[in-house]
Amino acid sequence: MSKTVPASILSVRDLRIGIGNQSDLLHGVSFDILPGETYGLVGESGSGKSITGLSVLGLLKRPLQVTGGSILFREQDVLKLNKRERRRLRGDRMAMVFQEPMTALNPLATVGRQIAEMFVVHRGLSWAQARLKAVEALETVHVPAPDERARSYPHQLSGGMRQRVMIAIALACRPDLLIADEPTTALDVTVQAEVLKLIAELCQREGTAVLLVSHDLGVIANMCRRVGVMDRGRLVEEQDTRALFETPLHPYTRGLLAARPRLGSRTISERGRLTELDELVADTQRGRDAPTLVTPRGMLAEAGR
Amino acid sequence: MLRFILRRTLQIIPTLLVVVLIIFVIFSVVPGSFISSLMSEGRNATNADVMAHLNQQFGLDKPLLVRLGDYLWGLAQFDLGISYRTREPVWNVIEPRLWPSIKLALAAMFFAAIIGIPLGFIAALKPGSMIDSGTMMLAISGLSLPEFWFGLLLMYVFALQLGWLPSFGYQADSIRHIILPAIALGVSPMALLARTTRAGVLDVMNADFVRTARAKGLSEPRLVRGHVARNVLVLVLTTLGLQVGSLMGQAIVIEKLFSWPGIGSLLVDSVAARDIPVVQGAVIVIVLWFLVINMLVDVAYAAIDPRIKVT
């Protein structure tokens, strides 16, 4: 413990999100991500994990808004930045990959142009120069025949290829932080693994920290060293991934682990349907801090060991 | 592309057949004929012999089906028949009216587009604002105004009171003459375009790819220019095309009001006189205009949207 704790690249403190001034969607979430680290946020839909990711980039849609707390990115509170400064960070220092590669790309522009735009906006390159960089970026994400693909429109690519394009866009400016919101949920199982591998490979190479948002514990287990469990707008548990799977502390986490459909598992009941989380976790235990919750600071010390 | 245009051109033929059929049926059931309309103009002396003679001369004594057959046969040879009134070939009656009509339709649409589309954009970029509600109120008024009343108002203000523009009439190379009728005719498509554009922009602004563009750190102007505008244009183009297509037919009241020598006013006069060949010719021209515009819109789609291929 004597070693100094490295500064986090992202430090979310007591983040509250709500409609109007009531924070009724996110009730004070805190976590830290270290440089180069892949941190997982897991939870069922509606638990607040996606809006947490969006709020870091400043992409919450009205009427949603941050109602309290702070988001420190490279030790600077991005919530205190003006619109222009925040926009400069977006895409350049922090980037995002979304769930739906089918709709996340502009259908009327070539993928090459959509990647090149990053270099034009953030690096001030001309379109011609940027186009060359875009082809390089496509090569980096292992798109075959990148020169030709750069001239394709999104509808001419498969879902997996489109997600690779999204990753190329997100990582074009070598950001410090990548927020991946369910990056593989809309993809075929076979493609999922490839895309995850790609994200892991590129981010490791560039030292990019990743905030991986997913409902899929399998994905989280594969990718992340630490994981935060969210339920009803609260971070109810934060652990090393291995520890989480072995000794989940919060009843909700136990429920989440038990609810994973597995072959021959009991969670598919005799009635032939998936067990609802609600049946596994008592309502009074939902969305409450576990008595044994490891504090983010404590975890940080742990991770920095 | 050429094959597409050719196929669409061929598709015009059945449409025209149906149109001709409908006109024939309508004029065979409505009371009155060209001959009776002659009498209503005060020529009571027309006796039975003359009537029979005229009937025979115009082929009106033949059964309906035979007349329809004759007409279609002529149409196949691009012959629209002979006007009852002027005894000229119908094409010679229509032709001088064609260009003024097209000019008016295009001018009205130009006015509608340069006002309506930006208005819709401005309204949508600040939804719920004063600009938004003001614009949309304007749009609803535009849609609900009776155009002849609005035309009269324009005439009163700009021609009579201010004396800036001529109140009516047509001059081949005068832009001043077309301004008032074009505005009067364009105000309702303008309102419609403003509403469609607003809805389109709101729709596109909510699209996932706009969120992606935001995540890329684009400024709002670059976002709107690079990612929203073209996608909205695809949506707006449909309305635009349908409007240009139907403007020629809609211009009847405005043409009458401003003494504009277009197809619309020709149509009204010819219906009153039961000059059926001219009515048919005018309707065919209006239908053709509509079909051609729609074909152009489809071609434009393919040019804008790579997902659409015309084959």
What are the pLDDT digits (tens) for B266-302? Answer: 888 888 887 888 888 888 888 888 888 888 888 888 8
pLDDT in tens, B33-92: 666 666 655 555 566 777 777 777 777 777 778 878 888 888 888 887 888 888 888 888
Residue A147 confidence (pLDDT): 93
Report chain B residues whose CB lies below 8 A from the CB of A122. Answer: 217
SS3 (DSSP) at A254: helix
Average pLDDT, chain A: 83
Write out the two tokens for B32: 């009155």
- When scoring A92, A106, A163 by the number of chain B Cβ atoms within 10 A, the one with the most, hence best to mutate, is A106
Average pLDDT, chain B: 83
Q: How far apart are CA B97 and CA A170, in angstroms?
A: 59
The model's pTM is 0.78
Q: Give which of A32, A207, A178 is closest to A91, Cα–Cα.
A: A178
Closest CB to B227: pick one of A106, A121, A155: A106
* Model confidence band, residue A292 (pLDDT cutoffs 50, 70, 90): very low
Q: How far apart are CA B145 and CA B141, in angstroms?
A: 6
pLDDT in tens, A114-153: 999 999 999 999 999 999 999 999 999 999 999 999 999 9
Residue A252 confidence (pLDDT): 82
* Model confidence band, residue A291 (pLDDT cutoffs 50, 70, 90): very low
Segment A11-32 mean pLDDT: 88
Q: Give which of B253, B234, B228 is closest to B108, Cα–Cα.
A: B253
Assess whether pLDDT exceeds 60 at residue A289: no
Closest CB to A121: pick one of B208, B217, B230: B217
Report chain B residues whose CB lies below 8 A from the CB of A91. Answer: 215-218
Residue A201 confidence (pLDDT): 92
Smallest Cα distance from B71 to chain A, Å:
47
Residues A288 and A255 sit within 8 Å (Cβ to Cβ): no
By a Cβ cutoff of 8 Å, what residues of chain A touch chain B? 57, 59, 87-92, 95-96, 98, 100, 103-109, 117-118, 121-122, 153, 155, 166, 169-170
Specify the amino acid at residue A164. R
Segment B21-42 mean pLDDT: 71
Write out the two tokens for A210: 């990743």
By a Cβ cutoff of 8 Å, what residues of chain B touch chain A? 207-209, 211-219, 222, 226-227, 230-231, 234, 304-307
User: What single DSSP character describes residue A154?
Assistant: G
Residue B153 confidence (pLDDT): 84
Residue A294 confidence (pLDDT): 43
Assess whether pLDDT exceeds 60 at residue A254: yes
Enumerate residues 6+ apart whose C-beta is below 8 A from B88. B82
Report which listed range, A28-42, A251-265, A281-295, B14-28, is most confident: A28-42
Smallest Cα distance from A247 to chain B, Å:
37
* Model confidence band, residue B215 (pLDDT cutoffs 50, 70, 90): very high
Residue B38 confidence (pLDDT): 64
Residue A269 confidence (pLDDT): 46
Strand partners, A243: none
Assess whether pLDDT exceeds 80 at residue A301: no
Residues B159 and B146 sit within 8 Å (Cβ to Cβ): no
CB atoms within 10 A of CB A129: 14
SS3 (DSSP) at A81: coil
- End-to-end Cα distance, chain B: 6
Q: In this predicted structure, which of A204-213, A265-274, A281-290 has the lowest mean pLDDT?
A: A265-274
| Residue labelled with tokens 């548990």 | A237
Assess whether pLDDT exceeds 50 at residue A299: no
Write out the two tokens for B280: 């048919």
Q: How far apart are CA A164 and CA A168, in angstroms?
A: 6
Q: How far apart are CA A275 and CA A255, in angstroms?
A: 10
Residue A9 confidence (pLDDT): 92
Segment A217-229 mean pLDDT: 89
Longest dimension (CA), chain B: 86
Smallest Cα distance from B216 to chain A, Å:
4
Its ipTM equals 0.82
- End-to-end Cα distance, chain A: 7
Q: How far apart are CA B79 and CA B97, in angstroms?
A: 17
B54-57 — which CB contacts under 8 Å span 24+ positions?
Answer: none
* Model confidence band, residue A276 (pLDDT cutoffs 50, 70, 90): low
Q: Which has more confidence, A101 or A127?
A: A127
pLDDT in tens, A204-216: 999 999 999 998 8
Phi, psi angles (nearest 5°) of residue A132:
-65, -40
Write out the two tokens for A92: 């350049």
- Angle separating helix axes B90-125 and B276-304, nearest 10 degrees: 40
Assess whether pLDDT exceeds 60 at residue A111: yes
- How many residues does this entry show for chain A? 305
| Helix (H), strand (E), coil (C) string for chain B | CHHHHHHHHHHHHHHHHHHHHHHHHHHHHCCCCHHHHHHHCCCCCCCHHHHHHHHHHCCCCCCHHHHHHHHHHHHHCCCCCECCCCCCEHHHHHHHHHHHHHHHHHHHHHHHHHHHHHHHHHHHHCCCCHHHHHHHHHHHHHHHCCHHHHHHHHHHHHHHHCCCCCCCCCCCCCCHHHHHHHHHHHHHHHHHHHHHHHHHHHHHHCCHHHHHHHHCCCCHHHHHHHHHHHHHHHHHHHHHHHHHHHHHHHCHHHHHHCCCCCHHHHHHHHHHCCCHHHHHHHHHHHHHHHHHHHHHHHHHHHHHCCCCCCC
- Judged by phi (left if over 0) then psi (alpha if -120 to 50, else beta), residue B200 lies in alpha
Closest CB to A59: pick one of B207, B209, B211: B211
Residue A143 confidence (pLDDT): 92
Report the share of chain A in percent with pLDDT over 90: 50
Assess whether pLDDT exceeds 80 at residue B176: no
Residue A153 confidence (pLDDT): 93
Q: Which domains does chain B have, with CATH numbers?
A: 16-90 (no CATH), 92-304 (1.10.3720.10)
Write out the two tokens for B187: 């105000």
- How many residues does this entry show for chain B? 311
Assess whether pLDDT exceeds 90 at residue A156: yes
pLDDT in tens, B223-274: 988 899 889 988 898 888 888 888 887 888 888 888 888 888 888 888 888 7
